[in-house]
Amino acid sequence: MKNAILDSNFRLPALTNFYRGKVRDVYTINDELLVMVTSDRISAFDVVLPEAIPYKGQVLNQIASEFLDATEDIVPNWKIVVPDPMVMIGRYCEPFKVEMVIRGYLSGHAWREYKNGKRSICGVTMPDGMKENDKFPSPIITPTTKALVGHDEDISSNEIINTGLVDKNDYEKLEQYTIALFKRGTEIAATKGLILVDTKYEFGKTNNEIFLIDEIHTPDSSRYFYKEGYEERQEKGEPQRQLSKEFVREWLMEHGFQGKENQTVPEMDEKLINSVSERYIELYENITGRKFEKSDTNNVLQRVEHNIRNFLLAYYR
């Protein structure tokens, strides 16, 4: 679709590296700046789906920008400027090779492990007698390795330190930052009638200082429940109302796709694409408490490249 970005291939000045992730196209400029274009790609089950979702990139980028600003008193972050609704430019950091996952509730991957009889995840003990979506006595940190290809893997804090993935002092700081960020995210979510269930943070280092990098508290990296009716649904054993991209996974599963070998991604027609776009806009409005303002998507690639170039020209003038 012309009004959405499936991928970008900008030839930017002083480009020293380019990386395409599942959702973001990342340009390194002069080995000091990162230009992160949040595309309209959508992934599920570790597979990038073939169709772009209009406004999805804008939703993710603007939520991430807002939460980076709302947490910069806790930990410095990589962001310098948002020159376009779909772009963030910031300082280059060497990323730590772990993702800091934190869980306030027994949901998702943790629940699947628990249901199969496990009472420990990433070296952290989970209490007996819990039901799906029950709140943990206190949030637990369940790190994963950061895989360049394939699935991330659970890893304990001891393994991270003992294998030298992260220095002990640095890792202890990452845990402290993770707990403080999750607490802030939980407080902000509560003011919007939401529960921040679980999320992940990524960190990097430059000039011997730790920075929060990438996205934060977006529906792609976090799970939210609606606060109203949470207790009642738990008591009745009913599913929780979620605010995440879980609805996309559910549609794929209904159409026989779970990312397994020899499975074909079902065709996404225009009606479905537009409904997913509307859901992402709804996510934005619930998480931020503000009405979403659609950017001009005529010649969107041209607009994005123009705004990036204008910033770089001014920055290196």
CATH code of residue 79 = 3.30.200.20
The pLDDT tens digits for 182-211 are 999 999 999 999 999 999 999 999 999 999
Name the DSSP class of 21: -
H-state helical runs in 71-193: 108-115, 157-162, 168-191
Give the domain extent around 239.
Answer: 95-243
Which of 214, 243, 272 is the last residue in one of the domains?
243
Q: Are the C-beta atoms of 155 and 145 separated by less than 8 Å?
A: yes
The pLDDT tens digits for 109-163 are 999 999 999 999 999 999 999 999 999 999 999 999 986 555 678 999 999 999 9
For residues 214 and 250, membership in a common domain is answered with no
- Which among 9, 87, 88, 22 has a CA at the least distance from the CA of 52? 22
The pLDDT tens digits for 216-232 are 999 889 999 999 999 99
Q: Give the Cα-Cα-Cα angle 89, 95, 101 (nearest 5 degrees).
A: 105
Q: What is the pTM of this model?
A: 0.92
Coil, helix or strand at residue 191: helix
The rounded distance, in Å, linking the Cα atoms of 317 and 18 is 23
Q: Are the C-beta atoms of 52 and 264 separated by less than 8 Å?
A: no
Side-chain-side CA neighbours of 166 within 13 Å: the count stands at 30
Q: Are the C-beta atoms of 90 and 80 separated by less than 8 Å?
A: yes
For residues 234 and 253, membership in a common domain is answered with no
Asked if residue 8 belongs to a domain, the reply is: no
For residues 122 and 231, membership in a common domain is answered with yes
Task: Give me the chain's average pLDDT, please.
Answer: 94
Rg (CA), the chain: 20
Q: Give the Cα-Cα-Cα angle 210, 212, 218 (nearest 5 degrees).
A: 170
- CATH number for the domain spanning 172: value is 3.30.470.20
Mean pLDDT across the stretch 48-59?
Answer: 95
Number of domains in the chain: 2
